[in-house]
């Protein structure tokens, strides 16, 4: 919330002040700034007056675009002229616009800020994927091509934000686990046919053939197929065949993928009154989180359903905290707590509805409405967590045994023989 409500990122005047920074947009004594359908000196006041005139002062205040050029392609004046031309084509004569060209980086770039409300008809600008990929990016490419400049053409499919964020924070992802399994199967295969056989043996369902446009795999327990091309350029069929052929040419024997070592953590044991033992749901969650955090590498990849659970670790921690704080160990206690939450939420919602009626009659009750909304947030959050717990308990009970490492069968047999010999000697 602190980031979203940062005035420097949400206030029109602040953004105008940033893009109009004289240290960044002066070339040979000329300020590279242009206003369309408004005045540079009163741009912010003009935009806010348009909003007031059409009765749309709230919501999205404006949009900020950056139109960039490759280093050395254009002069500052050319960059600014092209940025103004781009803004004119995209926004026409309907929106108030300020264009400022910055020279503080090797790649010259134009900052374009425009009002979200049209001064012509009062319509708000519709920010959709169609507008971006069609109007904005398409117009940008057209302006560049007409002037003999380069454009960026995507060569690979982008990643989802959740996956990118998880990878940057070091957390496992489903696609990352699929890549690990493919690498493992590739390292243990000599031919392309044996690679698919190894992947199938690991529990994957494969969709490929002459009548299949995109080769895809579905991990065991997965709900949908994942295209190989969607995993990255190194996982297309051509790339996999090339990697397999390269491995044969180098004469490397199949070997297991090395996994990162688990960092051990040591804690100082404190003396005093022993902690109470956990029971029921709390004990189940405590052990499951412990097993997920300490899951060690094995010679064979663990089942996909097990590794998928690691991605839910933070979710399970939040659920455990709720169970611990409210001393919930059984399904009956959980249902009782959910009923209490439901009663509290229903009462607050009814109270807020009455306050809304009073507000429509002109009474000043905005503070009371906001206070009730703040009270509702943690209650609804806890209710959602309780519902998640009801859904996740069967999964945790099913997956818990799969997280425990069992010693190899040969080692088990030797242990039994040693015990039998010890019993005979005794």
Tokens of 224: 């949908």
Residue 169 maps to a domain: yes
List, for residues 321-370, the tens digit of each pLDDT value: 899 888 888 888 888 888 888 888 988 898 888 888 888 888 888 888 88
Q: What is the pLDDT of residue 420?
A: 56
List, for residues 157-170, the tens digit of each pLDDT value: 566 666 666 666 66
Residue 416 maps to a domain: no
Residues 142 and 11 in one domain: yes
Count of domains observed in the chain: 3
Residue 197 maps to a domain: yes
Tokens of 419: 């015990």
Residues 118 and 13 in one domain: yes
What integer is the mean pLDDT of 146-161? Answer: 71
Residues 42 and 96 in one domain: yes
Q: Domain of 26: which CATH number?
A: 3.30.930.30
Band the pLDDT of 422: cuts 50, 70, 90: very low
Residues 167 and 114 in one domain: no
Residues 173 and 126 in one domain: no
Residue 345 maps to a domain: yes
Residues 171 and 141 in one domain: no
Residues 115 and 174 in one domain: no
300 has pLDDT over 60: no
pTM: predicted TM-score of the whole model, two decimal places: 0.41
Residue 153 maps to a domain: no
* pLDDT above 70: percentage of residues in the chain: 72
Please give the Cα distance from 326 to 334 (Å, whole number): 9
293 has pLDDT over 90: no
Q: Where a domain ends, among 81, 111, 146?
A: 146
If one compares 207 and 156, the residue with the highest pLDDT of the two is 207
Residues 142 and 28 in one domain: yes
Return the residue matching tokens 């579905």: 218
List, for residues 184-194, the tens digit of each pLDDT value: 888 888 788 88
Q: What is the pLDDT of residue 57?
A: 85
Query: Containing domain of residue 340, as a range?
Result: 280-403
386 has pLDDT over 90: yes
What integer is the mean pLDDT of 244-266? Answer: 56
Q: What is the pLDDT of residue 425?
A: 43
Residues 128 and 190 in one domain: no
Residue 415 maps to a domain: no
């Amino acid at each position: 919330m602190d980031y979203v409500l940062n005035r420097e990122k949400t206030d029109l005047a602040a953004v105008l002040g940033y893009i109009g920074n004289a240290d960044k947009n002066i070339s040979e004594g000329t300020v590279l700034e242009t206003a369309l359908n408004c005045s540079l000196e009163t741009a912010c006041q003009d935009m806010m007056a348009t909003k007031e005139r059409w009765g749309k002062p709230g919501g999205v205040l404006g949009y900020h675009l950056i139109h960039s050029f490759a280093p050395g392609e254009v002069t500052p004046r050319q960059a600014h002229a092209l940025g103004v031309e781009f803004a004119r084509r995209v926004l026409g004569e309907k929106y108030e616009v300020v264009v400022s060209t910055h020279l503080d980086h090797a790649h010259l770039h134009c900052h374009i800020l425009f009002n979200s409300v049209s001064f012509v008809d009062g319509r708000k600008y519709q920010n959709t994927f169609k507008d971006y990929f069609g109007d904005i990016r398409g117009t940008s490419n057209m302006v560049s091509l007409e002037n003999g400049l380069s454009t960026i053409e995507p060569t690979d499919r982008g990643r989802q934000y959740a996956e990118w964020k998880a990878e940057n924070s070091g957390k496992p992802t489903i696609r990352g686990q699929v890549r690990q399994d493919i690498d493992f199967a590739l390292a243990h295969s000599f031919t392309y046919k044996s690679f698919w056989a190894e992947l199938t043996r690991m529990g994957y369902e494969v969709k490929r053939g002459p009548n299949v446009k995109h080769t895809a795999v579905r991990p065991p327990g997965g709900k949908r197929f994942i295209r190989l091309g969607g995993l990255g350029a190194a996982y297309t069929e051509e790339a996999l065949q090339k990697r397999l052929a390269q491995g044969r040419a180098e004469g490397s024997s199949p070997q297991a993928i090395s996994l990162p070592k688990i960092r051990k953590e040591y804690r100082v044991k404190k003396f005093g009154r022993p902690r109470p033992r956990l029971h029921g749901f709390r004990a189940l969650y405590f052990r499951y989180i412990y097993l997920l955090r300490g899951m060690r590498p094995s010679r064979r990849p663990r089942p996909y359903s097990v590794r998928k659970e690691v991605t839910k670790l933070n979710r399970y921690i939040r659920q455990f905290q709720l169970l611990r704080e409210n001393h919930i160990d059984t399904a009956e206690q959980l249902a009782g707590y959910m009923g209490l939450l439901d009663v509290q939420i229903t009462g607050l919602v009814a109270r807020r509805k009455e306050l809304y009626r009073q507000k429509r009659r002109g009474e000043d009750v905005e503070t009371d409405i906001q206070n009730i909304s703040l009270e509702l947030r943690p209650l609804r959050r806890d209710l959602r967590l309780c519902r998640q717990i009801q859904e996740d308990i069967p999964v945790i009970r099913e997956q818990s045994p799969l997280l425990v490492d069992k010693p190899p069968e040969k080692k088990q047999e030797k242990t039994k023989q040693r015990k039998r010999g010890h019993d005979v000697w005794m």
